[in-house]
Structures are given as structure tokens and as C-alpha cells.
Chain A
Amino acid sequence: MTAGLWENWLLPGVWITSQLTLFSAVFAAAVAFGIGIARTSRLWIVRFLTGFYVEIFRGTSALVLMFWLFFVMPLAFGYQLVSMWAAVLALGLTYGAYGSEIVRGAIASVAPAQREAAIALSFSPAQRMRRVILPQAIPEMIPPFNNLLIELLKATALVSAVSVADITFAAQLSRLATGDSLEIYAIILVLYFVLAFVLTRLMRLLERRAKAGIGQAPVKSGKGPLATRKLSARQESEQSSNIITGGAQ
């Protein structure tokens, strides 16, 4: 592979992939918290509508949604999104729906006595959420969010299908230019792995700080530096049911 390909395509590709991951993650987090909290609402219509959203976006395929936003939306509604933003929208909406289940689960796992105590102290519902529930729920969310973030990073490769010049797109161009399929794809697989590894380390750091904030020590995983995601049997089944669609419990 020549220096020109690196400078003109692969390195900018890494930058685009990083940007995509960041923007989609921020958007997905906003959706996840918005929908996740709304699903605990007392109004059935709010619960129903947010539940409907989650089932639709967890039910369909991210790639199909991306094509839909890219090809159908301009024709049907007259809006043409820049392909980068169509990609961010598709990834954010899909992974936001997955993430909302994590938020909902973590909120549900806060001890009921905490909520009751906040009611007894006559906190308003908003104060209750902000001061009591969320500070305890957020550290619980970080490990599953880490898994989801890696899934999101991997899903950003899909944007090459709608001509966003990310790492995968750069690889396709390089392959056409040089024909060194093995070398190019081996290099970008390693690039993705390094990105995933960095993200995992950052999330670990975040988890330690969040847990220290409420006076808990992080759970020692003790599984070597390569192990990114090890879950118990219960968590593993929760994890798997989270990445697919499923009826509200």
C-alpha cells in the first residue's frame, strides 16, 4: 500500500469513523435517556408511544434503515440529508432504541426504598429522578453501554454502503487501486480493533469514576487486558435480548 492511499484515504477515513461514532453515540445517548425515562412515565399513552418506537427501531435492520433514509426520505418527504447525517440519524435512532432498554433496566434496578425515601422527603418527580434515581442508575448502565458502543463502532462500517468515506470505504478504494486485498483488509481490521480497545478503556475509566462518585468500588473483572466484555449467565441473556426486539415486560 502506498503512502498516498494512507494520507488521502485511510487516515481521513479513521477520522470520519471516529466522528461518526462520536456523533451517533451522543445522539443515541440522548434518545436512550429520553425514551428510557419516558417509558417509566405514569401516562399510558407516553409508555405506549415510546414502547412502539423501541419495537420498530429494534425490529428493523440498521442497514435497511440507512438505505431507507438515504433513498426513500428524499423522494417521499422532499428532504435530502447529507449522507453523513443520514448515517448518524440511522445509527442514532437504532442504537438509541437499544440503549433505552438499558436505561429502563437500570432505573428499574434501583432499590424501591430509594424512591420511597425520596417521596417521603417530598422531592418532586423531577428532583427524584435527577438527585436520587439517576446517580445510582448511571454506574449500572456503563458496562452495557460499553458493549453497545462497540456494536455502534462496528455498525459505522455500514455507512460505506451509502458512500460516506469512512475506513471501510477507504479500504474498498485502496483495494481497487492496488489489488492488495489481504494487506488492506488485515490493516483495517486491526484499526477497528484498536479503536474498540481504546473505547473500552475509556468506558472502564468512566465506570470507575461513576462508581467512586456513589462510594462503590468497581467490580474486579480480572480477565486480562484483552478481555473487553465478559458477562455472567444472566447478563449474557439480558445482553442478547437487548440487541433484538422484544415485547415490553
Chain B
Amino acid sequence: MVCVLGISAFYHDSAAALLKDGKIVAAAQEERFTRKKHDSSYPYNAINFVLDYSNVKLSEIDHIVFYEKPFLKFERILETYVAFAPKGFLQFTKSIPIWLKEKLFQKNLLINCLRKHDKNFRNTDKIYFSEHHLSHAASAYFPSPFNEAIVLTADGVGEWATTTVAIAKDNKLEIKKEIHFPHSLGLLYSAFTYYCGFKVNSGEYKLMGLAPYGEPKFYKKICEYLIDVKNDGSFRLDQSYFNYATGLTMTNDKFHNLFGQKPRDPKVDNISQFHMDIAASIQKVTEDIMIKLTSSLKEEYKINNLCLAGGVALNCVANGQILKNKVFENIWIQPAAGDAGGSLGAALAYWYLELKNLRKIDESDSMQGSYLGPDYDQKYIENELKDLEAVFSVLNDEELLEMTSEDLKKGHAIGWFQGRMEFGPRALGARSIIADPRSSSMQKNLNLKVKFRESFRPFAPSILFEDLKNWFNLNVSSPYMLLVATVNENIRNQISKHEESLFGIQKLNVKRSSIPAVTHVDYSSRVQTVHKEKNIKFYKLIKRFKDKTNCPIIVNTSFNIRGEPIVNTPKEAFKCFMGTGLDTLVIGNCFLQKNKQKQSKSNNYKSSFELD
């Protein structure tokens, strides 16, 4: 048995993943254990989890692979300072101490940290360093169902690369092209995220969700001044408008003058039509670049399969456009497309590219639905709930499905906690908040009373795969909620002239379809297809809901509030339940109703987490 441990850390989302003889056994993000969103510290808890779950000690691990090369990153940082000097001194004074104290000595740091898991761990020669984008590419190709693919990765920045193209066949993967820092599609998107007053590295989803409320009025301006996009989709950014290479902000005054406003201060300024138009414009630019890139790659390499990873691959609207473009027969996107997935990619890259192991395609999905995190048995859940003085009943599977689907039908917001936690940013029916999509007040209710977040943010539908075509303009599975499609014409509502003329956030009040809670203002939805073989309990629940209502869809959003990592343990689930507007909580076979709980157990949950 050969065990490979992959680690990503010290940048964005630290995580650990473990392979046993090439099979993905466990993977988890550190934030879920430390309860610190996007925690980038050494993933002590995540490593402990993957080791415990796999029943191996660290000293028994054969290879440990870190997801990027610190020296190469340091080279990029130094060369950037040299290229921009004397600009960037302030950033230099902030970042160099961190590098000199810690990051440059990452191998030693890793060794010291690893020894905390197992004192017998001595063989430091088994630590290897992959490359950031190679890790992303490996995470996108090796778990995919293809034996040949074009692999496109795009994110903020790794070592030097910000966008890479790799060609993969069987157990080989070779990077063919790269676009280097500071020219980055991810950083361009993040610059606009910052400009619209959202947090960089976490608010990008908000910008994407805001885009349909606006018109792409600034599209031409962006293309004319900020970015030069060639026909093949390669691009260069005009650095005179940006500040990220040398400063402590993403954009500079020249950028602000170009659009005529200062960056939005989220504490003071409301989101206006201007910000919606900005969001719509940068979203269109991103989609256009991704379309150009993928079309030119297809033309050049003539391969029908596309794999995507990197933070930009989480832009499911752009992914939906690539699919709609119909250039590729098949698309597969790594569900943990961000840096957390780098841990998995690093381990897979080592297994196939260094150890040269043969690759057998797992038809049933080697990512196992991305349910790779911790789970808790029924006894543990009951003991935890008893300790918390929760009032609950233990039901059999049949009763549980009946009661839960009945509550869904009543319009209750339900915390659904089952089996192994998801790896990646999306809740896929293991740590989800679920609700009835037919309710016109559900989106506002969930956003404001349960998630405590902005009312404009959309929710995603989980639909039985076999019913997909009847409800959405999508004919492929989307088990990882990474594709956006529009709702079918036949379920759309007639919109009056007055409703049509509404602008911005007012659009939210229009009931656009028979499933308004998951229909965005442009009729789009970020679809998750639910498959019997991947998550049987979740499948059965939706099926039961369909039997009662004729609707094979439920709202599915992550089990957390804004700024909080998705809940991991039953205790965290109960706390979230008691501190939010959730009506029902289902953990394993335990069924909890809010009105039966002790009042003293409610808490001021909202203040526990920072705004993101």
C-alpha cells in the first residue's frame, strides 16, 4: 500500500488530501476545523483528519507533496520588486519579513509542523514540491472520466503562472503554455471585486451574483483600457491601472478615474446600479476570454474533452457559457477548483507523473461526489446532541424522509447534515441548508434571516438528474454545482411591462418562474444534478418532495452563515441552527424542531463571524 499525502497551505485555503494506491481516500480544508474562513495556516487538523480517516500514521506515509514551489514564488516576488522599483517599497516592507521569517524556509517549517503529528516522522527526504498550476491541472484531469483532455487552469497567481494550458493523456500531463504574472484573469476579477467593495478572495461569488442585475456598460472601456485580449484568448493587463503588483490595494487612482468613482466602502456606501453595471461588465469580459481561450485551444489541439481548475473555474456562469458554446463534447471541472484542491492535485501529480503509475478511469467518479470529509456515526451525533441539551427524536430512514419533505413543503428552512462533508466550496447535500424553491419569499427569507447576507444573492437548485431536461436548458450532469443554465421557457412566468422595466435590486421582487427561489434575475440557475449512486439519501429526499409536490427540485445552499466556514460537526450544526432562522435540523437520523428547543440555547450567532 503506497500512501501519498498532499498539502496546500500558507497562501489561501490550506487543505490536506490523502491517496492510498492512487485512490482518493480523504480530503478536507483546514477552515472547517479552525472555523476561520479561508484559513491559510498549516493544516494541522486537516492532516490529522486524513491520517485518522485512512488509519495511517504520518511515519507510514510514503510521499508528502506540497502544492507549490516556495523558491519559485520568492523569485517572482523579488523580480517583481526589481521590475517596479522604487515603487512597491511599502508592500516590500510588509511581505519580505514574512518571507524571511517563514515562507522561504517552508521545507523546514513543514518538517517541524509534520513532526507534531508523529514523533517517529524522520525521513524528510520524502517531502516534495509540486508547482501551483501543475497541482491545479492534475486535480482537474486525473479524477476526470477522460483518457485525453485539454486542461485549462486559471486563477490569481501561483508561482509565475496565472493561466496554463496542459495536454493530458492516460497517466501523462504536460503544461504547454502559460500566461505569467502580473497578467492575470483571476486578479483582474479580484480587482473589480475590490472596487465594488467586496473582500478579495472571497467576494468574487458576490460579484458574479450581482452581474445579472446590471448592464455591461463598461465592457468596451475595460477592453479598450485595461486589457488587451488577442484572438486566441491570451491577454495582457495595462499595469498602470492596477496596484496589486506593488501596492497594498488592487486598483489605483487611474483606475478609479477611468470609471469615475472611488472604490465602494462597504461600511458606508450601498450597492448602486453603477456597481451592478461594473459587475456585469467584468463578468462579460471574463466569459469572453474563457470562450476565446477554450475555442482556440480546441482548434489547436483538436481534443474533445476539457478539464478546468483554478479559482476562475469556480465562475460557474463562465463555465455555463463554455458549455453553451458547444466547442467541447465533454467538460469536467474539479469541485475543489481553488487552492484547497491543490493539495489533491499535488498528490495526484506525484502519483501519476513522478511514480508513473498507470491510470484506470473510474467510471463511477473517483472524486466520490466530493464527499471526502469527516462523517459522524449516529451514536456520536446523539451523544453530542444530548450534551448540548438539544430536544430531538431519532427516526428511521423512512420517517426521516417523510418528516423532512413535509417540512420542506410547509416552507421551512432546514439544516441537512448527512454523511461525509464535501471537499470544495460548494455544499452538495451533506452540509446543506435546504428549502422549497416554489416559494416567492424564500430567497429573501433565507438571505436575510438564515444566512444574514445581502438580499441580492441567488440560491442554487438541486434537481433529480432524470428531471433535468424538463426544468433547465442543460443536458449534461452537473453534480458539483459548477454549471449555470437558464430555466426552461415552459416554467417561466409572464412578466408585465412594469416588471420588465424594473432596474437593479427591484428586479428581485419579480416572480420569474414556478421555482422563483432558485431563478436568478436573468433566469439563470447554478444547477446541481443529484444522482442516486452518488448521494442516495439526498436523492430520496428530493424524490419524496417531488412525490408530494410534483417539483423535483429543492433549494440547496451551504450550511453556514455569511463569513462562516461550512459546519463540520453536529455541535456546529446545532449552534448554527439555534442562532439563525432555521426551522428544522436533520443530523443523521436525528430530527430537531426549533419550536421544541430551549430558548436559553439560542445565541447571537451573527456576531461570531466577520462580514466577508
A-B complex is real: no
